[in-house]
């Protein structure tokens, strides 16, 4: 059932579409372009396979925008290289508002320091639209591992021969870099096993073929609740709303492993500003509704929107921060 916000916005948009046809010159062209947008299906590229946090969030956004626009909004999964494959696809796509990216911290701020020959320029090739959400990162282990606290995991890792293995959703992704921070801060040897997304990594973790993983909460929450995985802590400054009884790593004495992972909407550079502004306004309003908040809470995400300008500043600041972390940890594409 369409909520009252969507009903009123759809009615407003249809009036704008009718009025837009009369705007033919000067500034009116840009207004008419935005008023008529979209007139065909919109694609949101997610740089990870189905089932991971980026995919789940992209589907929440696609569902809400599709209802608002009365046009299909489809999620196109292009996994690989910590989201960088999908980002490269959108960077080269037409800048017409019909090709969008579900951007993540990894693809937009970490990849430039991990991959020496990216197929895109992380800042220059995109027009930021809005942040969408911040998602906690959890440390989880297979239940066969006799560790119930981070300290016990550190002791096991130091004694293990061969080394314990940790999975990640890809080189340079937040789960990879968080584990590298953990290894560096605790002085533990663990072997990195990168995958093409959270879903295949999770499959091997659940099967016990790898023992440890840092991952975004939406990917691990169902398995924590079912008992198939054991959660040892949240790698953030605050506890997760979805797991209020799970302490942070900092609370348990693990310092310097506080990670903020954001997800946001971006368009190819050169996308008309009127369309960027419309997408921003609609996304901010949609993510401010109770319906969207409930959808996000169900997957362990917390909605956080922004202006295009403030999103650009976040990207720039995080690029500098992660470049430093990559250098300090020695993280590389395995």
| pLDDT at residue 320, rounded to an integer | 94
Of the pLDDT bands very low, low, confident and very high (cuts 50, 70, 90), residue 330 is: confident
In the predicted structure, residue 5 carries a pLDDT above the cut 80: no
**CA–CA gap between residue 254 and residue 260 (Å, rounded):** 16
CB 234 within 8 A of CB 137: yes
Please state the pTM of the whole predicted model. Answer: 0.79
CATH number for region 4-134+261-329: 3.40.190.150
Of the pLDDT bands very low, low, confident and very high (cuts 50, 70, 90), residue 25 is: very low
Read off the DSSP letter of residue 163. P
Of the pLDDT bands very low, low, confident and very high (cuts 50, 70, 90), residue 7 is: low
The mean predicted confidence, pLDDT, of the chain is: 89
In the predicted structure, residue 31 carries a pLDDT above the cut 80: no
**Rounded average pLDDT over 256-267:** 91
In the predicted structure, residue 19 carries a pLDDT above the cut 60: no
Residues 6 or more apart whose Cβ sits within 8 Å of residue 208: 142, 144
CB 271 within 8 A of CB 265: no
| pLDDT at residue 36, rounded to an integer | 85
| pLDDT at residue 23, rounded to an integer | 41
pLDDT tens, residue by residue, 177-230: 999 999 999 999 999 999 988 889 999 999 999 999 999 998 899 999 999 999
Q: Of all residues in the chain, what percent carry a pLDDT higher than 70?
A: 89
The CA-CA-CA angle for residues 16, 60, 2, to 5°, reads: 50
- Per-domain residue ranges for the chain? 4-134+261-329, 137-252
| pLDDT at residue 33, rounded to an integer | 55
**Rounded average pLDDT over 136-144:** 96
Take residue 17 and report the two structure tokens written for it. Answer: 């579409």
Take residue 115 and report the two structure tokens written for it. Answer: 């991959």
Helix (H) or strand (E) holding 10: helix 4-20
CATH number for region 137-252: 3.40.190.10
3 vs 269: which has the higher pLDDT:
269
| pLDDT at residue 22, rounded to an integer | 40
| pLDDT at residue 334, rounded to an integer | 66
| pLDDT at residue 332, rounded to an integer | 80
In the predicted structure, residue 11 carries a pLDDT above the cut 90: no
pLDDT tens, residue by residue, 128-139: 999 999 989 999
Q: Parallel, antiparallel, or unpaired for β 190-194 and 164-168?
A: parallel
The count of residues in the chain is 334
Cβ contacts of 32-36, under 8 Å, gap ≥ 24? 33/272, 33/274, 33/275, 34/272, 34/274, 34/275, 34/277, 34/278
| pLDDT at residue 112, rounded to an integer | 92
Tell me which of 50-54, 64-68, 87-91 is least confident.
50-54
Burial class (CB in 10 A: 0-12, 13-18, 19+), 176: buried
């Amino acid at each position: 059932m369409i909520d009252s916000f969507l009903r009123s916005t759809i009615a407003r948009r249809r009036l704008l579409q009718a009025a837009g046809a009369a705007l033919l010159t000067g500034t009116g062209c840009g207004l008419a372009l935005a008023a008529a947008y979209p007139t065909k299906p919109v694609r949101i590229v997610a740089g990870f396979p189905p089932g991971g946090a980026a995919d789940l969030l992209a589907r929440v956004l696609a569902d809400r925008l599709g209802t608002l626009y009365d046009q299909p909004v489809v999620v196109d999964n292009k996994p690989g290289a910590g989201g960088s494959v999908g980002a490269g696809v959108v960077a080269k796509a037409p800048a017409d508002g019909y090709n969008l990216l579900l951007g993540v911290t990894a693809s937009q701020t970490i990849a430039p320091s991990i991959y020496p020959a990216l197929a895109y320029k992380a800042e220059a090739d995109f027009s930021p639209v809005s942040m969408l959400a911040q998602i906690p990162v959890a440390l989880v282990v297979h239940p066969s591992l006799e560790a119930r606290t981070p300290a016990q995991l550190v002791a096991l890792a130091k004694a293990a021969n061969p080394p314990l293995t940790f999975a990640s959703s890809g080189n340079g992704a937040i789960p990879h870099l968080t584990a590298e921070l953990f290894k560096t801060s605790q002085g533990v040897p663990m072997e990195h096993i990168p995958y093409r997304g959270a879903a295949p990594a999770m499959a091997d973790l659940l099967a016990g073929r790898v023992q440890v993983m840092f991952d975004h909460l939406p990917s691990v929450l169902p398995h924590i609740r079912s008992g198939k995985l054991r959660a040892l802590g949240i790698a953030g400054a605050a506890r997760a709303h979805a797991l209020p009884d799970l302490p942070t790593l900092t609370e348990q004495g693990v310092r310097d492993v506080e990670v903020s992972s954001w997800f946001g909407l971006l368009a190819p550079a050169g996308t008309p500003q009127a369309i960027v502004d419309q997408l921003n306004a609609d996304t901010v309003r949609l993510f401010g509704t109770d319906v969207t908040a409930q959808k996000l809470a169900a997957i362990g995400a917390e909605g956080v929107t922004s202006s295009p300008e403030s999103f650009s500043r976040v990207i720039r600041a995080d690029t500098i921060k992660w470049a430093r972390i990559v250098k300090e940890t020695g993280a590389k594409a395995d």
